[in-house]
Amino acid sequence: MAGNARAQETIFALREQIAKLEGRPLPALAAAEQADLAQDPENHASRLDQPRLLLGVDAVDNALEGGLPLDGMTEIRTTLTADTGPATGFALALASQLKKQEDADAPILWMGDVVSTQEGGAPYPPGLKQFGLNPQDILYASPRKLEDALWLAETALVSGALSATIFEIRGNPKHFGLTESRRLALRAKTAGRPLFLLRHVAAEEASSASFRLLVEPAPAAGRRLPDGSVLGGSIGHPVFRLTLEKSRNPAPLSFLLEWNPHDRQFSLGPDTDRDTGEAFTHGNSPTHPGTRLSASADRQDRPKTLGSVVAFEQAS
Amino acid sequence: MRLTALDEVCERIGLKRGQGLAEARAMFPKIDVIDEDERADAALLEALADWCDRYTPLVALDGKNGLFLDITGCAHLFGGEEALLGDILKRLHHMGFDVKGVISSSPGLSWATCRFGKAGVIPEGLLEEALAPLPVNALRIGETTIASLHKLGLKRIGDLLTMPRAPLARRFGTQLLLRLDQARGANEEAISPRRPVSALSAERKLTEPVAAEDHILELTRHIATSLKSGLEARGVGGRMFELVLFRVDGRVFRITAGASQPLRDPARISALFSERLTAVHDDLDAGYGFELLRLNVLQHDTYKTTQGDFTGEGEGEISLADFIDKVSARLGVDCLQIAILRQSHVPERAMIFAPAITTPSAPEKTAFPFPFAPRTDRPLRLFRHPEEVKTFAATVPDGPPSRFRWRHVVHTVIQAEGPERIAPEWWLEETDVPERDYFRLESKAGRRFWIFREGHYNAKEDAPTWRMHGLFA
């Protein structure tokens, strides 16, 4: 009996440790909170109020366990260079949503990546006004090396002077591994400020981000007229096709989100007639299909062959 | 080839400057001759001038082999003029230089005495006595004037001093009298210092040299503390600081660091240099250590004094400024930028990036925050050089393309908005730039592009080019 009880205790201790690592409320505390709730509902509410960025769409917020963490790292990933636009848009929409939620003066730091700037264009502040952000609210940094960028991201998080940091990285550089991502995630946690990691043309990779979203383009609905009808032949609010790749949910969740820059809020994407099914396939086929070149900065030319593949697991 | 400089031995045995090399070799076959390297000489003199900064901020170069130091108000710091001169000469002598130095009340007299007279300090009342026995060569006048003075038997400056001025001016020009007056101190002569004088500066002399970065920073903080009262008295804070490190062997390092807001706080000033020292780490060779540290305020600005309140408000601004300073010090001023919108319709001219450190962060300082707000959507990313796009079909004359190829991928256009015609700014353009018709396109996959047609379709010319200029969300 005594041995059994000790084993139980060990298991509880381990569970608590895991819960602490994952940033969840401790199981033992959950019961106490239930008791608190009975006595003092308001206090409870404030206690549960972990810093979260609400997207304002219930289904999504539930999947994100109440929103994106404001004291952690969120990864936003694309698979193609051509998706730089939607990824940039989604990251900036999150920043704008954050500004609206917090109503703070602190600026947002945009850390650009040299290659992404060449391939996907430089950030263009005049476009921000119609996107729900004040162009003067953004500081642009262009570190030359990844080491500088990491130092800068860390300094930005530690200073606590910025409302959010958007860190652009292209691909999966060798020097940005689990250690670096863990370090940044911890910094974000201590500072209580969010870090959005914008990874262009990146493969899924283990990281310390609590959520990873894959951004793909999606057709927009037409512009809405004041009487509620849709103006034909127009391109309305931007729509993103998002896949929640990493979260505590076992299955990846895919959904369309529309960003309304005027009201600065997200809504579930439109069911457009234009959706031909073909629209969501990855890109258009190249004109001259040939062997794909490996996109291999800092990577081996091809994946190493393993022995026998039993099952593919989702990297997390 | 001629001799341009001689060492003591050669001077003693009777060689002269300007003498032909062959002649000198004929007289003394054993002499060593080294080619003159003017650039190295100049660099050496510059380095010496840098070193002399420890005595006064006003150091000027004088020709190939002289330095002027304006020691007005500095002598008492070193125990008087005699002691100052002794100190300079002693230190330079230990560095291996043969130096003569004179302190007098006018640069002209110092120059003359240094080269033709007895070195030392010339007291205020004995100017003319010191000047009179010197040859007229000591007046910094042209060769022809000297020759004609000699012809008339005017060999000493004393001869000129007693002569009536008018005939001298008539015969030899005003230059002679100007130089004479300058030497006598009757005409104020300004030296031209190498560096601008900093508004404020403080220094710390060390008996034991320091080399470690931590010590340098700690000393910087101490020096900044002594600067603080000076800054407060003027109601300013420093925007640009310079830390001057004098190494034991005479080398001088200068490190500058800027701040985005006027600074007074010693800890923050020293924090600026902590990043700078990390950045210049490899270039800063401490060697045997630094014996003198000086902190200069190169630029300052009005310091807005705000009283802190109990809630700790206003701290956010400080930490942001701190962050900007830190990053600019470490990664360079251009690393961190903010966007400034400009009044232009041409998309690439509608904004510029400016270093965050030089731009006032408070938005209200800009008179027109949005000088030009376009009515139509602008992209989130803009290509610096619009990329050419191959279109397969477009509605002629003004329509959007229905399919186009960009970077080897064909995009089928589903929706298009436009055209938005943006005419070139003829008041800026020098050549004839075609008009642009911008379209906002959405491809089948849902990507949104900003693409423009350069020029128009017409029968005479080739089809206009289409270019990709930006990406929407």
The CATH number assigned to the domain holding A89 equals: 3.40.50.300
Q: What is the pLDDT of residue B314?
A: 53
Q: CB B384 to CB A84 under 8 A?
A: no
pLDDT at B90 over 80: yes
A20: phi then psi, degrees, rounded to nearest 5: -65, -45
A14 and A88 assigned to the same domain: no
pLDDT in tens, chain A (316 residues): 567 888 989 988 888 888 777 766 666 566 655 555 555 545 444 444 567 888 888 888 888 888 888 888 999 999 998 899 999 999 999 999 998 888 778 899 999 999 999 999 999 998 888 888 888 889 999 999 999 999 999 999 988 889 999 999 998 898 898 899 999 999 998 888 899 999 999 888 888 888 999 999 999 888 888 887 888 888 889 999 999 988 887 778 888 999 998 888 898 877 644 444 333 334 444 455 554 555 555 655 555 544 554 555 555 5
Number of domains in chain B: 3
A36 and A68 assigned to the same domain: no
pLDDT at B14 over 80: yes
Q: How far apart are CA B369 and CA B350, in angstroms?
A: 13
Q: Is B336 touching A (CB cutoff 8 A)? A: yes
A30 and A57 assigned to the same domain: no
Which of A311, A29, A284, A84 shows the shortest CA–CA distance to A198? A84
Shortest Cα distance, chain A CAs vs residue B91, angstroms: 43
Give A314's contacts (C-beta < 8 A, 6+ positions apart). A204, A245, A252
Q: Is B442 touching A (CB cutoff 8 A)? A: yes
Q: How far apart are the first and last CA of chain A?
A: 39
The CATH number assigned to the domain holding B305 equals: 3.30.1490.100
Longest C-alpha distance within chain B, in Å? 101
Number of domains in chain A: 2
**B contacts of A122 (beta carbons < 8 Å):** 381-384
In a domain, A293, yes or no: no
Give, as one character, the DSSP assignment of residue A209: -
pLDDT tens readout for residues B372-390: 566 778 999 999 999 999 8
Q: CB A125 to CB B412 under 8 A?
A: no
B84 and B179 assigned to the same domain: yes
Last residue of a domain, one of B184, B211, B243: B184
Q: Is B316 touching A (CB cutoff 8 A)? A: yes
CB atoms within 10 A of CB B112: 26
Token digits for B461?
A: 């010319």
B462 and B389 assigned to the same domain: yes
pLDDT tens readout for residues B91-133: 899 888 888 899 988 888 888 888 888 888 888 878 888 888 8
Q: Which SS3 state, helix, strand or coil, does residue B91 take? A: helix
B464: phi then psi, degrees, rounded to nearest 5: -70, 160
B209 and B178 assigned to the same domain: no
Q: How far apart are CA A316 and CA A273, in angstroms?
A: 35
Task: Please give the share of chain B, as a percent, with pLDDT higher than 90.
Answer: 15
Q: How far apart are CA A171 and CA A297, in angstroms?
A: 7
In a domain, B161, yes or no: yes
Q: How far apart are CA A241 and CA B367, in angstroms?
A: 40
A258 and A216 assigned to the same domain: yes
Mean pLDDT value of segment B26-36: 87
Q: Which SS3 state, helix, strand or coil, does residue A124 take? A: coil
Which of A155, A209, A150, A149 shows the shortest CA–CA distance to A182? A209
Summary mean pLDDT of chain B: 85
| Whole-Å CA distances, B173 to B109, B179, B185 | 20, 11, 19
Q: What is the pLDDT of residue B379?
A: 92
| DSSP-H helix ranges across B185-307 | 213-234, 266-279
- Report whether A160 contacts A113 (CB < 8 A): no
Last residue of a domain, one of B328, B353, B373: B328
| Amino acid identity at A146 | L
Specify the higher pLDDT residue, B311 or B224.
Answer: B224
Shortest Cα distance, chain B CAs vs residue A105, angstroms: 9
| Amino acid identity at B132 | A
In a domain, A75, yes or no: yes
Last residue of a domain, one of A31, A48, A65: A48
- Report whether B355 contacts B337 (CB < 8 A): yes
Q: CB A286 to CB B373 under 8 A?
A: no
Q: CB A235 to CB B446 under 8 A?
A: no
A43 and A60 assigned to the same domain: no
SS3 content of chain B, % helix, strand, coil (to 5): 35, 30, 35
In a domain, B82, yes or no: yes
Last residue of a domain, one of A231, A256, A271: A271
Residue to substitute from B275, B318, B340, B380, interface A, most A β-carbons within 10 A: B380
Q: How far apart are CA B449 and CA B109, in angstroms?
A: 76
In a domain, B333, yes or no: no
Q: CB B350 to CB A143 under 8 A?
A: no
Shortest Cα distance, chain A CAs vs residue B200, angstroms: 30
Q: What is the pLDDT of residue A67?
A: 85
- Report whether B127 contacts B121 (CB < 8 A): no
Mean pLDDT value of segment B39-61: 89
Q: What is the pLDDT of residue B221?
A: 92
Q: CB B323 to CB A159 under 8 A?
A: yes
Q: What is the pLDDT of residue A277?
A: 39
How is B359-372 classified by DSSP, letter by letter? S-S-GGGSS-S-S-
Helices and strands: H and E segment counts in chain B:
13, 16
pLDDT tens readout for residues B290-301: 989 999 998 888
Q: CB B378 to CB A126 under 8 A?
A: yes
Q: CB A125 to CB B341 under 8 A?
A: yes
**B contacts of A119 (beta carbons < 8 Å):** none
Burial A226-257 (b: 16+ CB within 10 A, else e): eeeeeeeebbbbbbbbbebbbbeeeeebebbb
Task: Give the structural domain span for B403.
Answer: 381-471
In a domain, B345, yes or no: no
- Report whether A224 contacts A230 (CB < 8 A): yes
B169 and B61 assigned to the same domain: yes
Task: Give the structural domain span for A30.
Answer: 2-48
Strands A223-224 and B290-302 come out as: unpaired
How is B325-347 classified by DSSP, letter by letter? HHHHHHH-GGGEEEEEE-S-SSG
pLDDT tens readout for residues B264-288: 888 888 888 988 888 887 788 888 8
Q: How far apart are CA B451 and CA B391, in angstroms?
A: 11
Task: Please give the share of chain B, as a percent, with pLDDT higher than 70.
Answer: 94
pLDDT tens readout for residues B127-144: 888 888 888 888 888 888
